[in-house]
Amino acid sequence: MLEMVTQQDRKVFQEEFAGRLPGKIFDSHVHIILKGSYSPSWGTENISYLEKTGWEFTVEQFFSLCKEFLPGVEMFLAGFGGPSMKVNRSHAGSFGVDNSHVFGLRLLSAYDSVEEVASDVEKYHLCGVKPYACMALKRDSGETELLDFFTKEQLEYLNKNKLIATVHIPRKMRLEDPLNRRQMAYLCETYPDITFIFAHIGRSYYKRCAVNYVDEFVKYPNAYWDTAMINHEGVLKYTFDHFPAERILYGTDSPIAFLHGKSVEINNQYVYISPEKFNLGTSLHDGTGKVVYVPFLYEQLRSVLSLDLPKKVLEGFFFENAHSLYTKTAERMFGK
């Protein structure tokens, strides 16, 4: 494991975060990448920054990085694999869930049978599923819709067992897309016992995406947002101002959040600006050496803390909201 924390990171932690973070943090969005789940070329092609962690990202690596970057905080996580049709989705759930500090979701393709999914949920004590556009029906057409992420049978199984689905909504327009929002509402309404955690506030990395649309989901008690990789103060502020705080969850999208950089809004778009040499998707590489960066993780914490939320709201956001959701689900399913 490469050392990734810098002197500057330590200084920023001491100056800006020490004493201001709650003692316990539940990270509701962590990609756990087990070597045995993927073909060797998958990482190099898809997540080249995994080079930093030896082409895997284990629960142990997550905890040890948290010790470096968030010293003194007791960490909890909800993990799931890296989505791909090339992954062994069953194996990807075998990362050692204990439903105490480590909770998990099963990667879900619309091509998986309910029997396979249910058997993995039971075997690995998972609390739900993590579907994704690249594992959905019509996934190669470029027109994947949210409803293509699941089959009806899968949704009925999830609803019957009151499980969680963390959903990365598809399509270019994200939360601005009326079809996405109609289908999100349809899912919440039709399957009231599934908890839908819409990841990255519906992929709202820039403000126009979240504004006006977050409000539409207030009325669905089973609609949650996670805030993974949202560095944008305006997006976070809008969400906390317009949505019940007890349904907003902290998440990092680790391991990417440990890289140095910042997600920045430009002309109703966003880009990751980063000194790292890796391709991070929509990213600009800054090789000038003139700007000193901290990890995305810290930029997100900065934005959240800048909102001056009441202590109780912060504790709920960082820990209690996700912890109680996952604990209740695990207790109901597995009796612990």
Binding site for Zn ion (CB under 5 A): 253
* Residue 125 or 130 with smaller CB distance to Zn ion: 130
CB of 68 closer than 8 Å to CB of 42: no
Distance CA 238, CA 225 (A): 13
* Residue 30 or 187 with smaller CB distance to Zn ion: 30
Of all residues in the chain, what percent are helix, strand and coil, respectively (each to 5)? 45, 15, 40
Residue closest to Zn ion (Cβ): 253
* Residue 125 or 203 with smaller CB distance to Zn ion: 203
Q: Crossing angle of helices 233-242/296-306, nearest 10°?
A: 50
* Residue 228 or 314 with smaller CB distance to Zn ion: 228
DSSP label of 57: B
* Residue 21 or 30 with smaller CB distance to Zn ion: 30
| Cβ atoms < 10 Å from Cβ of 291 | 10
State in angstroms the smallest separation of the CB of 105 from Zn ion: 11
Q: What is the DSSP string of 198-213?
A: ETHHHH--SHHHHTTT
State in angstroms the smallest separation of the CB of 256 from Zn ion: 8
State in angstroms the smallest separation of the CB of 29 from Zn ion: 6
State in angstroms the smallest separation of the CB of 16 from Zn ion: 25
State in angstroms the smallest separation of the CB of 281 from Zn ion: 11
HEC profile of 253-297: CECHHHCECEEEEECCEEEEEECCCCCCCCEEECCCCCCCCCEHH
φ and ψ at residue 272, rounded to 5 degrees: -85, 120
State in angstroms the smallest separation of the CB of 226 from Zn ion: 9
* Residue 49 or 157 with smaller CB distance to Zn ion: 49
DSSP label of 320: I
